[in-house]
Amino acid sequence: MSDNILIFYGSYRRDRMGIRLADYLVRNFADRGAAPELIDAKAVGLPMLDRMYKEYADGEAPEAMAALARKIRAADGFVFVTGEYNWGMQPGLKNLTDHFLEEWFWRPAAIASYSAGRLAGARANSAWHATLSEMGMVVTSSTLTVGQIGKALDADAQPTGDGGAALESSFGRFADDLQWWIEAAREQRARKAPPY
């Protein structure tokens, strides 16, 4: 059975560099036998949060929101690919994430961050850890941080230079950690229903 992994990306900027990291992750999880799917917040196009998915009556949520809710519920695990804006989270990714709650429960999540500078989105990475935990996910301790994203991955999401080499050497542990938790959570859900 392939692990169904949703890879979330949230930049709305015109010249998006982080999409390279998202594409790299999709390709590399697929190479390991998983079934990854990129969820691009800009392409999904949810409005600024007014109502969460659960606040709509059955059948009344916008179709893009309902379709994404189904995908989240069917997923085995998640990866959040995040840039850092002024020491904080990207608003596009946060907005998409906040539309859901129970849909996230009892599954693991991993965080991959990036920036144009050398700090690699580390502050946003840290902020996401607490947010995803609050939303009912088990967040892995292994993270990816990619600094100078434009030099670490080329336009085809291929690793280049020292930054690309560092990403390549870190990906295995990152993926192993997430896949271990996916397997553990899957087995536990099969053994015993979640408590709520």
**Could you give the domains of the chain?**
4-191 (3.40.50.360)
Contact 81, 25 (CB under 8 A): yes
Backbone angles phi and psi of 154, in degrees to 5: -80, -175
Q: Give the number of residues written for the chain.
A: 196
Q: What's the start-to-end Cα distance of the chain, in Å?
A: 26
Low-confidence winner among 7-21, 58-72, 115-129 (lowest mean pLDDT): 115-129
Q: How confident is the model at residue 188 (pLDDT cuts 50, 70, 90)?
A: very high
Mean pLDDT of 164-177: 97
Is pLDDT of 193 > 80? yes
pLDDT of residue 77: 98
Q: How confident is the model at residue 1 (pLDDT cuts 50, 70, 90)?
A: confident
pLDDT of residue 116: 87
Cα 15–16–17 angle (5° rounding)? Answer: 115
pLDDT of residue 119: 84
Mean pLDDT of 132-140: 97
pTM of the model: 0.96
Mean pLDDT of 156-170: 97
Is pLDDT of 52 > 80? yes
Is pLDDT of 9 > 90? yes
pLDDT of residue 117: 86
Q: What is the mean pLDDT of the chain?
A: 96
